[in-house]
Structure 1
Amino acid sequence: MFNKSNKYLLIQTASIGDVVLISPVIESIHNYEPQSDICILTNTRGAELFHKHPFIKDVFVWNKKKNKYKNLLKIIKDLRKYKFKAVINFQRHLSTALIMGSMHSDKKITFKQSTFSWLFANERFEHEWNKKHEVDRNLTLIRNIVPEEYQVRKPKLYIPDDIHVDLPPSPYVCLSPYSLWYTKQMVVWRWIDLCENLIKLGYNVAILGGNEDVKKNNLFFKKFKINDHLYDFVGKLSLLETLYVISNAIITYSNDSAITHLASSVNAPIATIFCSTVPSFGFTPLSDNSFIIEPNIEILCRPCGMHGHQKCPKDLFICGNSFIIEQLLEPLKKLSLHE
């Protein structure tokens, strides 16, 4: 029915950070098989990251925001037109397992923890929460495809030449105070304190965030005095435009969220603030200049979950408050020493 294929299909339709963290798999497959056609199935927002990507042949989009299951059936129908050398599913949900199981491919690869993996996949690997980075867990899935010496561990995205943003005057620092999860966010007044101190030190400050962060950003600016050194980009940039801003900054400060991985994908200096989650979960930054900031006191209830919560389970949120300004400025001082 189909000729021999050199097409790979990678499935990752979760959050932006998760999408970024499969980019080493893209780099690794291309590194080993430069002539292969790498295709990706992702969500509407994730598709932005692969605009003019040099190693991606096709981007397939599953729109989950509207008519989710109707669109699921449509994307399965569309993808069944192709023969894939391998289909790699990085998620553990039934929907993506169904997509993988419906494909024309001799290799269907996923994690053992994926729903019905025993039914839909013929290669299954353990998703190990043993202090491995998520990148390493993802690379496990191509163990039988790409030899280790060809594997690339760092996230990598590409900013096309047609992406341009009017940047703040240099030097500037990016702050990303927001997260999908409340308990992953350092409290707003600590961000305001950091912002004020950066401006006193002579830096301009760019505030980053998506459309979903606009309401929280209004609270930030309500509490912050109007300042000519503050630049508000929240809800105003595409993901690739955000990458452009990050790539030109002295450093970016972020919660344990997508911005951390976006900064890593362009090897930009990044300081990641961990509140309710911990670095051992495997989502630390991977830039050459990466810094990890954790609460300055021991907190017995931390971590309180694998992800985050919309409310502190103990109604205390000590982990989001336990930072001092000297601690927050330390990464910037270390960068200055290396200049």
Structure 2
Amino acid sequence: MLEHSKVLLIQTAFLGDAVLATALLEKIRIESPYTEIHILVRKGNESLFKAYPYPNLRRVWTYNKSKKWSSWLELRHDLRSEHFDAVFVIQRFFGMGLLSLNIGAKRVVGFDKNPLSLFFTEKVKHEWGTGVHEVERNTALVQSWLGGKVFRPCLKAAEIDLGPEMRKKEYICISPGSVWETKRLPIRIWIEFIQLLPQDQVVVLMGSPGEIDLSNQIAEAFHGSNRVILNETGKHPLLASAYIFQQSMMSFVNDSGPMHICSAENVPTVAVYCSTVPSFGFGPLADWNRIVETNVALTCRPCGDHGKKNCPLGHYACGEGIEANAIFQAYQEYLSARSQ
């Protein structure tokens, strides 16, 4: 059996991808508890790992994409001095594949879709679009070392003061944003969903500073009403946001980073899919979850592996065709399940 005393995971993609990589942290921690783990993530995502509560994760390294090659060169220099037994390249792109081959690790394991996979010690088939979840794909990278058992991603954010209106496990979170516009449920549908909720249901709007306008549109639709809409978008650092999700009764999200945070915290989740599809392998992993998507078979969906800045055909039927009542039905299902 292979033994690794010190390993590096590389995942410098978006926030959600970094969250899902914590499933590998869990697998290594539990199945090889004496292995020292390092992880390399995109600059801006490093604070998230303060919510990973185990000392097996020794260090979080960052790659600054705004400085690209200077950051790459600095990392190559610094990582070489760490003398890793193995590097697991979760990404499929050239830059990180090249870095993994230039830091002197004894083994380099990555996906066969990486342009440099020919030079890896071991390359692993990357399955896409078949329903295999990303955490299963990632687990395949360490299978020759630790076997194929899959673990759930894990985050446990530290407690913060929520204030009097956010009572733990009573409010719901809605995250209307996404990096990609074609992953965003139209705002009018979120508004219609909130109108269906009981009058006393507290709603907390969540998102990054760049998504403030989306949440403002929702909040303004209820200005002057008796509904309690707490617009927390852009007001909290990443760890505090994670705690707000963690303490919600349930969360409603697009196919985006907040969904994966909820998976890692096991928060009941309703995930809305517009232009992307669950079979890509990025679905919710909480014990209780529901997926909402259009029930119309669209020949144009999915329109790509990721979201797009706008609908290529101009109609956005994959988002506009989703009904608020379907989201509300998921809300009712959870309340019914919780009361049993």
Name the TM-score class by shorter chain.
over 0.9
Task: Answer yes or no: is the 8 Å Cα contact 2:88–2:108 preserved in 1.
Answer: yes
Write the distance in 2 (CA, Å) between the matches of 1:257 and 1:147. Answer: 29
Q: Which amino acid aligns with 1:271?
A: V
> Secondary structure of the equivalent of 1:261?
helix
Q: CA deviation at 1:167?
A: 6.5
Q: Which amino acid aligns with 2:112?
A: K
> Secondary structure of the equivalent of 1:213?
helix
Identify the residue that residue 156 of structure 1 maps to in structure 2. 154
Identify the residue that residue 79 of structure 2 maps to in structure 1. 79
Specify whether residues 222 and 52 from structure 1 end up closer, same or farther in structure 2 by C-alpha distance, changes over 3 A only. Answer: closer
Specify whether residues 50 and 169 from structure 1 end up closer, same or farther in structure 2 by C-alpha distance, changes over 3 A only. Answer: closer
Task: Answer yes or no: is the 8 Å Cα contact 2:42–2:65 preserved in 1.
Answer: yes
Identify the residue that residue 323 of structure 1 maps to in structure 2. 322
Q: Which runs of 4+ in 1 moved over 3 A?
A: 163-170, 215-224
CA RMSD of aligned residues (A): 1.8
TM normalised by structure 2 equals: 0.92
Q: CA deviation at 1:56?
A: 1.0
Q: CA deviation at 1:269?
A: 0.3
> Secondary structure of the equivalent of 2:143?
coil
> Secondary structure of the equivalent of 2:40?
strand
Write the distance in 2 (CA, Å) between the matches of 1:77 and 1:101. Answer: 12
Identify the residue that residue 179 of structure 2 maps to in structure 1. 180
Write the distance in 1 (CA, Å) between the matches of 2:4 and 2:319. Answer: 50
Identify the residue that residue 168 of structure 1 maps to in structure 2. 165
Q: CA deviation at 1:211?
A: 1.8
Q: Which amino acid aligns with 1:302?
A: R
Task: Answer yes or no: is the 8 Å Cα contact 1:9–1:87 preserved in 2.
Answer: yes
> Secondary structure of the equivalent of 1:323?
coil
Q: CA deviation at 1:247?
A: 1.4
Identify the residue that residue 60 of structure 2 maps to in structure 1. 59
1:199-210 equivalences in 2 (<5 Å): 200-210=198-208
Write the distance in 2 (CA, Å) between the matches of 1:246 and 1:303. Answer: 28
Task: Answer yes or no: is the 8 Å Cα contact 1:27–1:152 preserved in 2.
Answer: no
Q: CA deviation at 1:239?
A: 2.0
Task: Answer yes or no: is the 8 Å Cα contact 1:297–1:322 preserved in 2.
Answer: yes
Write the distance in 2 (CA, Å) between the matches of 1:248 and 1:292. Answer: 21
Task: Answer yes or no: is the 8 Å Cα contact 1:21–1:155 preserved in 2.
Answer: yes
> Secondary structure of the equivalent of 2:9?
strand
> Secondary structure of the equivalent of 2:166?
coil
TM normalised by structure 1 equals: 0.92
Write the distance in 2 (CA, Å) between the matches of 1:280 and 1:52. Answer: 28
Write the distance in 2 (CA, Å) between the matches of 1:226 and 1:278. Answer: 37
Q: CA deviation at 1:164?
A: 4.4
Task: Answer yes or no: is the 8 Å Cα contact 1:5–1:83 preserved in 2.
Answer: no
Write the distance in 2 (CA, Å) between the matches of 1:271 and 1:167. Answer: 25
> Secondary structure of the equivalent of 1:38?
strand
Identify the residue that residue 18 of structure 1 maps to in structure 2. 17
Q: CA deviation at 1:201?
A: 3.9
Write the distance in 2 (CA, Å) between the matches of 1:299 and 1:156. Answer: 35
Write the distance in 2 (CA, Å) between the matches of 1:281 and 1:153. Answer: 19
Write the distance in 2 (CA, Å) between the matches of 1:203 and 1:102. Answer: 54
Q: Which amino acid aligns with 2:154?
A: K
Q: CA deviation at 1:169?
A: 3.3
Q: Deviations over 1:302-328 (max 9, x none)?
A: 111111111101100011111223211
Q: Which amino acid aligns with 1:257?
A: S
Identify the residue that residue 50 of structure 1 maps to in structure 2. 49
Aligned residues: 330
Task: Answer yes or no: is the 8 Å Cα contact 1:7–1:84 preserved in 2.
Answer: yes
Task: Answer yes or no: is the 8 Å Cα contact 1:157–1:266 preserved in 2.
Answer: yes
Specify whether residues 52 and 24 from structure 1 end up closer, same or farther in structure 2 by C-alpha distance, changes over 3 A only. Answer: closer
Write the distance in 2 (CA, Å) between the matches of 1:164 and 1:15. Answer: 28
Task: Answer yes or no: is the 8 Å Cα contact 2:51–2:155 preserved in 1.
Answer: no
Q: Percent identity?
A: 31
Question: What is the aligned counterpart of 1:216 among 214, 217, 223?
Answer: 214
Task: Answer yes or no: is the 8 Å Cα contact 2:183–2:276 preserved in 1.
Answer: yes
Q: Deviations over 1:86-111 (max 9, x none)?
A: 10011112111121011222110000
Q: Which amino acid aligns with 1:143?
A: Q
Q: CA deviation at 1:9?
A: 0.3
Q: Deviations over 1:284-303 (max 9, x none)?
A: 10000111001132222211
1:292-303 equivalences in 2 (<5 Å): 292-303=291-302
Q: Which runs of 5+ in 1 are unaligned?
A: none
